[in-house]
Structure 1
Amino acid sequence: MTIRWPLLVRRVHKWLALVLGLQVVLWTATGMYMVAVHIDYIHGDHLVKKPPVASRNLAGFVEPSAILASHPLARGAKFQSFLDKPVWRIETQEGPRLFDASTGKQLPPLNLSQVEAAARGVYTGDPAIVSAKLLTTSPLEMQARKPPYWQVEFKGWNRPTLYIEPHTGELISRRHSLWRVFDFAWMLHIMDYSERTNVNNPLLRVATWSAVLMALSGAWLLLWSFPKKKAKKKVA
């Protein structure tokens, strides 16, 4: 049986266009959004203050070696301020912990008022807090980070939200509505509908190569549609 290549290519091109048409539109729309909104704004850099750089005299404070000696599995010590109180930040097996720099005693986990104060201390916008809660399960927007942590949402049209470490009061991450739209657009763009992180998943590869085949078949049909020049007959 003779294969009618133009008909076969036309059918392949048509069905690929029908199947991939919606995804191509999504690639275009989501790509435009991700380019139009500045990535620094998406990251939420405008929501938090830059940490102050200040030197401090360590005389009179407990040496970090004394704290590390009582916690042999701990590592690393950093002097910092927590709610205007000098502390040592120590990396323990359970995670970062704060120790009073004056007494060497470990500070307990943050309570609600301390968390709200820590969040207000780094937030640049309206300090009115809508909600603050300690999470033990990860919300969709924080799947990459294991709980527990505090979620503090501030008043605002874009639902600015800060995530706070429960023992140190440090900022873990920030989220807002345009970030959430970006995350949804990213999911549609890379076609990873579960983790939203795998840019080399099988579904995306199939769709990409199918789009390439659609483009090549369309180009072939375009070239084939041009009229063919007939060879001139030689006059005897």
Structure 2
Amino acid sequence: MRKNNQYFARKIHRFLGVFIGIQFLLWTISGLYFSWTDIDEIHGDHFHQEHMMHESPSNLINPSSLDSTLQISSLELRFVNHQPYYWVNENVLYHAQNGLKKEEITEKEAREIAQIYIKGNLQIKEAEYLTETGSHHEYRGRPLPAWAIHFEHPENLTAYIDAKSGNFERVRHRSWRWFDFLWMFHTMDYAGRDDFNNLLLRAFSLFGLATVFSGFTLFFMTRKKKKKRSLF
């Protein structure tokens, strides 16, 4: 029996439907989750409190006297556990009163910084020193080395402190991790989760269009066939 265009259109539509149906389902599930969650809560804003130092330190040394070989291109006065430091060239800390270079934030200091910025006076479970993170790590793409301060909390709360600058970088919790996991399926970036322009996503987008167009083709082909039958 001769196979007509409608037969091939059905085959293509059925094949594409099975091939990308699972991904369509993942897009829908992740999209529903994103639309039903508060992005500020996902970011952990309800755990994080802004902390402004209202101190006026005295006896600050002149930054030019820090190091004779130091070429200063940027300078910021900041406080690490109530101690004034110059953050020089976005790379190194110098004590603003005695000029001593601070190599890194200690674990004790990182714990204190985390407790300053996290609401609720939570108990710290453990501190973890990070020198590298994988492409799927929740702290990926952020400054390293860093301290991960894990709190006793139902949401498995973790605060990240930059070990070089003393900055409070991020807070992560269970809801954010679910969001990040579903975001990976939404972007189809199974290598690093954050690339929205990857080839796999582009390919499946084209397959999705092909599925829709094949469905339209079937609709009009079957409609024409019904009209022909009604004429006889």
Normalising by the smaller structure, the TM-score range is: 0.7 to 0.9
Structural RMSD (CA): 2.4
Aligned residue number for residue 187 of structure 2? 190
Aligned residue number for residue 65 of structure 1? 64
SS at match of 2:122: coil
Matches within 5 A, 1:1-236: 4-52=4-52, 54=54, 56=56, 60-67=59-66, 69-91=67-89, 95=91, 97-139=92-134, 140-145=137-142, 147-226=144-223, 227-228=226-227
Larger CA Rg, structure 1 vs 2 = 1
Structure 2: distance between partners of 1:87 and 1:73: 17
Structure 2: distance between partners of 1:84 and 1:12: 67
Structure 2: distance between partners of 1:172 and 1:230: 69
The one-letter code sitting in structure 2 at the alignment partner of 1:31 is G
Q: Which moved more, 1:111-120 or 1:70-79?
A: 70-79
Q: TM-score, normalised by structure 2?
A: 0.88
Structure 1: distance between partners of 2:61 and 2:152: 40
Structure 1: distance between partners of 2:16 and 2:174: 35
SS at match of 2:50: coil
Percent identity among equivalent residues?
28
Q: Which runs of 5+ in 1 are unaligned?
A: none
| 8 Å Cα contact 2:30-2:183 kept in structure 1 | yes
Give the 3 Å change call, closer, same or farther, for CA 221–107 of structure 1 in structure 2: same
The one-letter code sitting in structure 2 at the alignment partner of 1:75 is S
Give 1:70 deviation, angstroms.
2.7
1:107-162: CA deviations, max 9, x gaps?
34222221111110111134201110111221522221353111111111111111
Structure 2: distance between partners of 1:137 and 1:231: 71
Structure 2: distance between partners of 1:120 and 1:28: 38
Structure 2: distance between partners of 1:153 and 1:129: 6
| 8 Å Cα contact 2:51-2:116 kept in structure 1 | no
Structure 2: distance between partners of 1:230 and 1:26: 41
SS at match of 2:89: strand
Give 1:59 deviation, angstroms.
5.2
Q: TM-score, normalised by structure 1?
A: 0.86
| 8 Å Cα contact 2:30-2:185 kept in structure 1 | yes
Aligned positions, number: 228
| 8 Å Cα contact 1:126-1:155 kept in structure 2 | no
Give 1:184 deviation, angstroms.
0.9
Give the 3 Å change call, closer, same or farther, for CA 16–191 of structure 1 in structure 2: same
Structure 2: distance between partners of 1:215 and 1:85: 62
Give 1:181 deviation, angstroms.
0.9
